[in-house]
A and B are shown apart, each in its own frame.
Chain A
Amino acid sequence: MPRAVAVSPGTKTPEPVAAVEVRDLTKRYPGDVRALDGVGFTVPTGTVFGLLGPNGAGKSTTMKILTTLARPDSGTVRIAGLDVVAEPRRVRRVIGCVTQRSGVDPAATGRENLTLQGRLHGMSRAELARRVDELVELLDVGAVAERVAGGYSGGTKRKLDIAMSLIHRPRVLFLDEPTTGLDPEIRSEIWEHIARLARQERLTILLTTHYLEEADRLADRVSILDRGRVVAEGSPGRLKDDLNGDAVVVELVEPGMVGAARRALDGLTLVREVVAEGVAVRARVDDAAVAVPQVLAALTADGVAAASVTVAMPSLHDVYLHYAGRSIRETER
């Protein structure tokens, strides 16, 4: 059964340079819905990679294929050198996964959830007990570890989810929207945990999120997916530099005027993309010094009152808009 490519966890075999290698992935759903249309990217070992894109772009489908849950129609995926279609069982031993839906058994305590997961991975009793204690401490869930998980808060449940996905010391961790629906403080706490774990456990992380600031802060590289294709890839810094230009953010006096403000700015030739952000509109322009007077004039002409104008460097959000062509927040709604 063992083959030459064997890379079993714990042994000192040289690690492949790429922890995740995806090539020409395609997948259609019944009714000829093309979910993936030739997706490819590479994640070097020990790095954090962000997969971004609007709903229906193919992020979840990609994650499902990479974690052996779904099969591609064509294309190859190698995780730590193992082919996901040919050797799904071996791939499952080297990956951990936190999905959008929790996966915590609400009838079991935190410790029981962790222990079961470790047993399914065939860990020995003593090693498992040590590892459970270690993760309970690392993720700071000691206070509730003996309580039934059904009563956990959203943030605590997520932390338990992460601990469960790490029990067997995976090499690659998949995080599918791990902080969606959590309070901002808890979100940043979770990300601190993930960043620290990535360092301590020398993990390769592949994450999807629609909080672009998080991807900007955490990911070494990102891929932007749209309609089943990779439309941009690179480090967040590089992608932002490539945009060269500025972002003009106009805060409005009345929230109800956001639509009117967008229409006014859409009409300007020197404005590239416009997006609503709460009570503000954000426009990407080549040169803010030239654009700001025109932006204000256009707003005034349409009867939209501006409370403030800020000029900023392009954010990952602007990059996203440029390539995916629509706002992540608009489509996620």
Chain B
Amino acid sequence: MTETITQSWYMTARLLRGTRREPLFLLIGLVQPAVWLLIFGQLFHRVTDLGGFGSRSYIDYLTPGVLVMMALTRGAWSGGDVLIELDRGVLDRFLISPVSRAALIAGHLASQAITVAAQSLIVLALAYAVGARFPGGLAGVAVVVLAAMLIVLAVGSLSMAFALVIRRAQSLTATIQFVLLPLVFLSSAFMDARLAAGWIRQVARFNPVDWAVFAGRSALAADPDWRLVFMRLLWLAALALGCGLVAVRSFRAYQRSL
């Protein structure tokens, strides 16, 4: 167990070192949330007039949605990182060294979670600069960053499992394109659920993106309902754990196919 943790840290440090050497990718990951924040913020500026958003401005409402969407996107593409390492032979080399499979997955997940946390803080600062306010304060920021990290862990695990089992970049791309936007739009990320059709409201209740957005948005608002926030975080954590186990198991499927 301690060995797995130590090895996970070595793998995390390896991947973070790569990110530090090529910070460009970190910046590219920030382009999408910045664009959504600025364009959507302006485009739907008056949407709050419809009522249902409470007294908040739309940019306040939008910020946690954009953060979670950024985490979702990053997690979804993590299978691509695995495919690249498979292709280079890096993963095979690790598999025939005495490193635990859990550490291989954990390294990728931890480095992504840390990267997404750093990106989240930058996006929050950007949102603040364009007028968003977070009455929930530091506790709220902590919750929304944690929710984004849990999303990256869950979705990242599934994407890596997909990559290990299917092993085709085209299939991964097609699946992401098919799944990603519906997940975002079948949630309250951009529009208050009360303004959406009834069936969307129903679907959103089972959508982890909605759990994360809800937890983050509630915590950032004044006077959050902490019980509801913690419930959503708990569901997300359970989901992330389950997905992580699937990812570790998928190494077996990969090795069986060799």
User: Is A120 a contact of B97 with CB atoms below 8 Å?
Assistant: yes
- A69-B255, A71-B256 in contact; A105/B95 too (CB < 8 A)? no
| CB of B15, distance to nearest CB on chain A (Å) | 8
Among A71, A105, A116, A120, chain B packs the most CB atoms within 10 A around the CB of A120
User: Is A97 a contact of B7 with CB atoms below 8 Å?
Assistant: no
The closest CB in chain B to the CB of A68 belongs to: B96
Q: Which of B83-91, B146-154, B189-197 contacts A (4 or more CB under 8 A)?
A: B83-91
B174 close to chain A: CB less than 8 A? no
A225 close to chain B: CB less than 8 A? no
Residues in B neighbouring A70, C-beta threshold 8 A: 255, 258
Bound CA–CA A333/B103 (angstroms):
39
The closest CB in chain A to the CB of B96 belongs to: A67
User: Is B94 a contact of A120 with CB atoms below 8 Å?
Assistant: yes
Among A67, A71, A101, A102, chain B packs the most CB atoms within 10 A around the CB of A101
Q: Which of B17-25, B59-67, B159-167, B208-216 contacts A (4 or more CB under 8 A)?
A: B17-25
Residues in B neighbouring A67, C-beta threshold 8 A: 96
Residues in A neighbouring B95, C-beta threshold 8 A: 68-69
Bound CA–CA A108/B93 (angstroms):
15
The closest CB in chain A to the CB of B258 belongs to: A70
The closest CB in chain B to the CB of A30 belongs to: B257
User: Is B17 a contact of A92 with CB atoms below 8 Å?
Assistant: no
User: Is A92 a contact of B96 with CB atoms below 8 Å?
Assistant: yes
* Residues of chain B in range 57-112 having any CB-CB distance to chain A below 8 Å: 87-90, 92-99
Q: Is chain A's interface secondary structure helix, strand, loop, or mixed overall?
A: loop
Residues in A neighbouring B90, C-beta threshold 8 A: 102-105
The closest CB in chain B to the CB of A148 belongs to: B21
- A69-B258, A70-B258, A120-B97 in contact; A103/B92 too (CB < 8 A)? yes
A303 close to chain B: CB less than 8 A? no
* Residues of chain A in range 103-151 having any CB-CB distance to chain B below 8 Å: 103-108, 112, 116-117, 119-122, 148
Bound CA–CA A327/B98 (angstroms):
38
- A71-B255, A120-B10, A122-B3 in contact; A101/B87 too (CB < 8 A)? yes
User: Is B10 a contact of A102 with CB atoms below 8 Å?
Assistant: no
- Chain B 30-62, CB-CB to A under 8 Å as 1, else 0, gives 000000000000000000000000000000000
- Chain B 1-19, CB-CB to A under 8 Å as 1, else 0, gives 0010001001000100110
Residues in B neighbouring A68, C-beta threshold 8 A: 95-96
Residues in B neighbouring A122, C-beta threshold 8 A: 3, 98
| CB of A80, distance to nearest CB on chain B (Å) | 14
Instruction: Assign chain B's interface to a size class.
Output: 20 to 34
User: Is B256 a contact of A103 with CB atoms below 8 Å?
Assistant: no
The closest CB in chain B to the CB of A167 belongs to: B97
Residue from B88, B97, B256 in contact with A92 in the complex, judged by beta carbons closer than 8 Å? B97
Bound CA–CA A245/B104 (angstroms):
55
Instruction: Assign chain A's interface to a size class.
Output: 20 to 34
Residues in B neighbouring A101, C-beta threshold 8 A: 87-89, 92
The closest CB in chain A to the CB of B3 belongs to: A122
- A68-B96, A70-B255 in contact; A107/B17 too (CB < 8 A)? yes
| CB of B100, distance to nearest CB on chain A (Å) | 9
A99 close to chain B: CB less than 8 A? yes
A39 close to chain B: CB less than 8 A? no
A227 close to chain B: CB less than 8 A? no
Bound CA–CA A70/B254 (angstroms):
9
| CB of B16, distance to nearest CB on chain A (Å) | 10
Residue from B22, B99, B258 in contact with A120 in the complex, judged by beta carbons closer than 8 Å? B99
Residues in B neighbouring A120, C-beta threshold 8 A: 7, 10, 94, 97-99
The closest CB in chain A to the CB of B103 belongs to: A120
Bound CA–CA A68/B94 (angstroms):
12
A164 close to chain B: CB less than 8 A? yes
| CB of A118, distance to nearest CB on chain B (Å) | 10
10 closest pairs, A vs B, by CB?
A101-B89, A103-B93, A107-B18, A70-B258, A103-B89, A92-B98, A120-B99, A67-B96, A120-B97, A102-B89
15 more contacts with CB within 8 A, not counting A108-B17, A116-B10, A120-B7, are A64-B258, A70-B255, A97-B93, A97-B96, A99-B89, A101-B88, A101-B92, A102-B88, A102-B89, A102-B90, A103-B92, A104-B88, A107-B18, A108-B18, A122-B98
| A-B contact list, 6 entries, CB within 8 Å | A101-B87, A102-B89, A103-B90, A107-B18, A108-B17, A120-B10
